């Protein structure tokens, strides 16, 4: 019997460069590397900060992983890199894919949930499909 702990993770997903195929590709990759549970409906959002770019498509994925937090976060950044994500001089600039951990088990681990509807709306939709009440913000050292 496998007693490896499975961590429940809600990931915020966004793209404004070829967004539909890139979100689909990120889902396929995560489905092969985790236990993929569900995805929120995609929403279109205007860019924030740097406005001279296309609108974003945003969603959230619920997955389960046996990886610890830091390793899983590293794997998300590796997926972004494999998909051509370029981190440039414009922090809020265009991106092929953006994958950020929002909920780790029952803990909300980023304040972005409180600050941005493009995070909270899809995350709330995922939360509504499960019996998980997130606790108050808990900082996990990154």
Q: For residue range 34-60, list pLDDT tens digits in order.
A: 999 999 999 999 999 888 999 999 999
- Return left, alpha or beta for 91; rule: phi > 0 is left, psi -120 to 50 is alpha, else beta: alpha
pLDDT value of residue 3 = 56
For the chain, give the number of residues: 142
pLDDT over 60 at 134, yes or no: yes
Dist. CA 120–CA 134, nearest whole Å: 12
Taking the model in full, what pTM does it have?
A: 0.90
pLDDT value of residue 1 = 41
Question: For the CA atoms of the chain, what is the radius of gyration?
Answer: 15
Q: Which long-range contacts (CB under 8 A, 24 or more apart) does 82-91 make?
A: 82/29, 83/22, 83/25, 83/26, 83/29, 90/50, 91/49, 91/50
pLDDT over 60 at 12, yes or no: yes
Query: pLDDT-derived band of residue 139, with 50, 70 and 90 as boundaries?
Result: low
Q: Which top CATH class is 7-128?
A: alpha beta
Q: For residue range 75-120, list pLDDT tens digits in order.
A: 999 999 999 998 878 788 899 999 999 999 888 898 899 899 999 9
Tell me which residue of 11, 10, 17, 9 sits closest to 97, measured CA to CA: 17
């Amino acid at each position: 019997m496998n007693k490896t702990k499975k961590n429940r993770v809600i990931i915020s997903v966004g793209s404004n460069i070829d967004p539909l195929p890139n979100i689909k590709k990120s889902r396929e990759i995560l489905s092969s590397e985790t236990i993929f549970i569900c995805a929120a409906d995609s929403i279109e959002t205007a860019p924030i900060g740097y406005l001279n770019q296309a609108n974003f498509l945003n969603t959230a994925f619920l997955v389960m992983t046996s990886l610890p937090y830091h390793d899983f976060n590293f794997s998300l950044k590796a997926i972004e890199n494999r998909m051509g994500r370029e981190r440039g001089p414009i922090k809020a600039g265009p991106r092929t894919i953006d994958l950020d951990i929002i909920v780790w088990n029952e803990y909300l681990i980023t304040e972005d949930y409180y600050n941005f509807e493009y995070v909270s709306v899809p995350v709330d939709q995922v939360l509504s499909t499960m019996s998980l009440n997130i606790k108050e913000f808990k900082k996990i050292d990154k």
